[in-house]
Amino acid sequence: MLYRLFGRYLFGVLVIVLLVYHSSTLPAFAANIDPYIRRYLHVTEPISLNLDGQGNTRLFTPLELSAGKQMFETNCINCHVGGATLPDPQVSLALKTLQGANPPRDRINALVNFMRQPMTYDGSQETYWCRQLSPNFLSQQQVESLAAFILTAANKAPGWGTEDF
């Protein structure tokens, strides 16, 4: 009888400790998620994005999208404010425009390939309008997070890459 009472007491204490620990870590986790990711992209849980057009997908967390947004702001925003392309306004980061590129840039791997070796919209030659993001500059994980942010914004952000921004 005493063992059962002690076991229940110990179980109750363990539950309380776990609840306190869990609730104390949630605000820290949530604080690292960029408000833009929650408010405009409506991402609060991991989302699945198309990798290659072969049915392969990958999950991206809100934290990865937040990191991608930060990299976008550091490396891309000077030319791509709100998904527009200032040097060439006809070629924005809107989903329809990304799909129309040669090769299409509407999947993670295709966009990563473009960022690693920027080509003109028709794919005929290298372009120097976009910064080349070599593996020495951004890791594969970082450039995939950047691509995930761009594609998620192109899918969900109001006005992204449009003239109505």
Please give the residue range of the domain that contains residue 13: 1-31
The whole-number pLDDT of residue 164 equals 57
- Do 25 and 45 reside in the same domain of the chain? no
Number of domains comprising the chain: 2
What tens digit of pLDDT does each residue of 35-57 get?
Answer: 999 999 999 999 999 999 899 99
- Do 45 and 21 reside in the same domain of the chain? no
- Residue 163, domain member (yes or no): no
The whole-number pLDDT of residue 23 equals 41
Instruction: Evaluate the omega torsion of the peptide bond into residue 87 and state whether it is cis, within 30 degrees of 0.
Output: no
- Asked if pLDDT for residue 22 goes beyond 70, the answer is no
- Do 21 and 39 reside in the same domain of the chain? no
3-state helix, strand, coil in the chain (%, to 5): 50, 5, 45
C-beta pairs of 17-21 under 8 Å, 24+ apart in sequence: none
Cβ contacts of 138 within 8 Å, gap of 6 or more: 71, 75, 146
Nearest to 150 by CA among 45, 55, 77, 57: 77
